[in-house]
Amino acid sequence: MPTLGSPLPGKSVPPQPPRPGLRGNYTDARPDYRIPQQWSHYSSDEHALWQLLYARQLRLVRRYACPEFLAALQKLDAGGGIPRFDSVNRKLRRTTGWEVVGVPGLIPDREFFEHLAHRRFPVTVWLRTPQEFDYIVEPDLFHDFFGHVPLLLDPVYAEHLQAYGAGGLKALPLGGLPYLARLYWYTIEFGLVRTAAGVRAYGAGLLSSGAELPYALLDPRPRRLAFDLLRVMRTEYRIDSLQPLYFVIESFAQLLSDTAPDFTPYYAHLAQLPTLQCGETVAEDRILL
């Protein structure tokens, strides 16, 4: 008689969520955590909620997002309701070779990096509830799609994200994961970029947030530092509050070139340096107003 929890003979163990308490349903996920989007299962209320989230964010991104994001968002034309991944993928594939794959939510780092390294972006298939309109703890369909997917149409950003995934797979055995998680946080999630019109947002956590997008660009409280790869990889971050610190790149080309070298020597160097809390300052910091 198999003990509780062990798979029945011939049945494989379903992929486990990376931590307990996550909302998504992982039981039917494939070994690489993909699940079908099942677009026909979304209710009219969910499509209506998507339209409201999209309309609110569109007003904000027009003022605060980088031009590359705005141009890509227009191409995706996803404001009318929850987009179909298969039709978005036809556009993505012919533009930068990327595609989105449905997942139940957060997935373990290895599988996440594996998808990015093969130009597949994992997008959560479930949408937040109306009560979570302004803030949600876990990344949902709106955060992942509205925040992360448009810039996959930008060739330089798309190349960087694939290189980031490949770097993640190399980092796993080297203990580089915490450093890469910080890099992801301060760029892909909360990054700012200098543009001809001034500093603008490219990070998905900002672009999909009603409150943090204007805060990141207008509020005098957070510090905005010039991007410095090792400084970013030394710096802790907080996941449950508005960020006290943002990093500003000059361009996606700079992000791509600064992160192009092999990181192995960086990990050895970083292991010797004290971790910085997000409120700390070091002498080399270039503070941008």
Binding positions for Fe ion, 4-33, rule CB under 5 A = none
C-beta of residue 147 within 8 angstroms of C-beta of residue 212: no
Count the alpha carbons within 13 Å of 105 in the hemisphere toward its beta carbon: 20
Report how far apart, in Å, the C-alpha atoms of 267 and of each of 36, 119, 171, 188, 257 are.
Answer: 37, 25, 9, 20, 18
Return the DSSP state at 121: E
Closest approach, Cβ 188 to Fe ion, in A, equals 7
The residue within the footprint of Fe ion, chosen from 204, 207, 213, 217 (CB under 5 A), is 204
From the list Fe ion, ligand HBI, none, pick the one residue 204 interacts with, judged by a Cβ distance below 5 to 8 Å according to partner type: Fe ion
Does residue 143 have an active-site annotation? yes
Nearer to Fe ion, 139 or 168 (CB): 139
Does residue 115 have an active-site annotation? no
Does residue 209 have an active-site annotation? no
The pair of three-digit structure tokens given for residue 259, joined into one six-digit string: 């992160």
Closest approach, Cβ 23 to ligand HBI, in A, equals 12
For ligand HBI, the binding residues (CB under 6 A) are: 103, 106-107, 109, 112, 122, 139, 181, 184
Out of 114, 115, 143, 209, the active site residue is: 143
Nearer to ligand HBI, 103 or 245 (CB): 103
Q: Packing angle between helix 109-117 and helix 155-171, nearest 10 degrees?
A: 140
Query: Does the protein bind Fe ion through residue 103 (CB under 5 A)?
Result: no
C-beta of residue 255 within 8 angstroms of C-beta of residue 160: yes
- Checking phi first, is residue 91 left (phi over 0); if not, alpha (psi -120 to 50) or beta? alpha
Does residue 189 have an active-site annotation? yes
Q: Given the rule CB under 5 A, which residues bind Fe ion?
A: 139, 204
Question: Which residues are catalytically annotated?
Answer: 143, 148, 189, 208
